[in-house]
Amino acid sequence: MRTRTRTLPAAAAGAAALVLGLTACGAGGPGSGADDKGGPLVVGATPTPAGEVLTYVQQKLAKKAGLDLEIKEFTDYVLPNTALQDGTLGANLYQHKPYLDDFNQSKGTTLSAVTEVYLPPMGLYSEKAEEPGDLKKGATVALPNDITNEGRALELLASEGLIELKKGTGADATPEDIAKNPRRLRFKEMEPAQLPRSLKDVDAAIVNNNYALDAGLSPRKDAILLESVKDNPYNNVLAVRKGDEDDPRVKKLAKLLTSPEVKKFIEEKYQGSVLPVTGD
């Protein structure tokens, strides 16, 4: 793999506010994080869909399973992993395995995927085009600026024939790896959380599922191009610090997240906008 600068989404003032919020709530204290196995399991998540799935587990399934579950919500992609690494959290749910692996490599963390839970399909959205073929030559497409999701976004465009990537290009592709660009598309790299707001200023944007849902977009109805679940490596995973995979609380949560009850909840609530990994 070639060496290049890695850009992970920071959250600036929002990140600082979240840190203050966690401190004010006492996160990281005795029995609240990963180190006290007798306390509640504190799980970090982005609000949608991870936070909603975890809230369903907390309200409907956890008590019967003997699991004391707490949920901490974050609005960026970095803090849930740094909080997991430092023990403030006992687990998190919001990311796919390629992002987790890249985070470990670039940040020196030791985080591990426990189980796959669901696929939030990434989509191409536009207020100017009704289908991908409507994008005009020279159109500007906004992309997520973190290394794995940018490559994933470019793969989505390539799957529709809008661009062609160089042979051997993987999930770390950037616009520099485009071999053919017949529509002469231009690309604007942005923090993932800002992408839904960019739709008025660009011709199209590729938006991560959770940020699309937070913005009131329906991936199934509003996306002009949507990922397929078949053979997709981007299923979101329950993650822990390496060595905590056998924590009884984590095992209970993993079992609940892959249960028929959660599968049904995801199918009914999201109507195809989020796809459960388990079951047919």
User: Which residues neighbour 14 within 8 Å (Cβ) at sequence distance 6 or greater?
Assistant: 75, 76
- Global pTM value: 0.70
- Based on the domain organization, do 89 and 132 belong to the same domain? no
Q: What is the pLDDT of residue 158?
A: 96
Could you tell me if 146 and 171 lie in one domain?
yes
Query: Would you state the structure tokens that stand for residue 87, as one six-digit string?
Result: 């023990």
In this predicted structure, what is the pLDDT of residue 8? 35
Please count the structural domains in the chain.
2
Q: Which residue, of 226, 248, 264, is where some domain finishes?
A: 226
Q: Give the closest residue to 113 by CA, choosing from 266, 230, 208, 250.
A: 250
* pLDDT tens profile 167-176: 998 788 999 9
Cα–Cα separations (whole angstroms), residue 150 to 23, 77, 226, 239, 258: 32, 14, 15, 22, 28
162 and 213 co-located in one domain:
yes
In this structure, the answer to whether residues 81 and 207 fall within a common structural domain is no
pLDDT of residue 34: 58
One domain, residues 44 and 114: yes
| 156 and 216, same domain (yes or no) | yes
> What was the pLDDT predicted at 9?
36
- Is residue 6 domain-resident? no
C-beta of residue 234 within 8 angstroms of C-beta of residue 116: no
Q: State the pLDDT at residue 63.
A: 97
Q: What pLDDT, on the 0 to 100 scale, is given for residue 170?
A: 77
Q: Give the pLDDT of residue 231.
A: 73
Q: Tokens for 264? A: 């049904």
CATH of the domain at 21: 3.40.190.10
- pLDDT given at position 2: 30
- Domain encompassing residue 26: 12-121+232-276
Is the residue at 208 inside a domain? yes
Same domain, 238 and 146: no
Kindly list the averaged pLDDT for each block of 10 residues, start to end, along the chain of length 280: 31 33 36 67 95 98 98 96 98 94 96 94 96 97 91 95 93 93 98 96 94 91 88 90 98 98 96 79
Shared-domain flag, residues 165 and 33: no
Do the domain assignments include residue 264? yes
Same domain flag for 196 and 127: yes
Picking from 210, 226, 242, the residue at the C-terminal end of a domain is 226
Amino acid (1-letter code) at residue 222? D
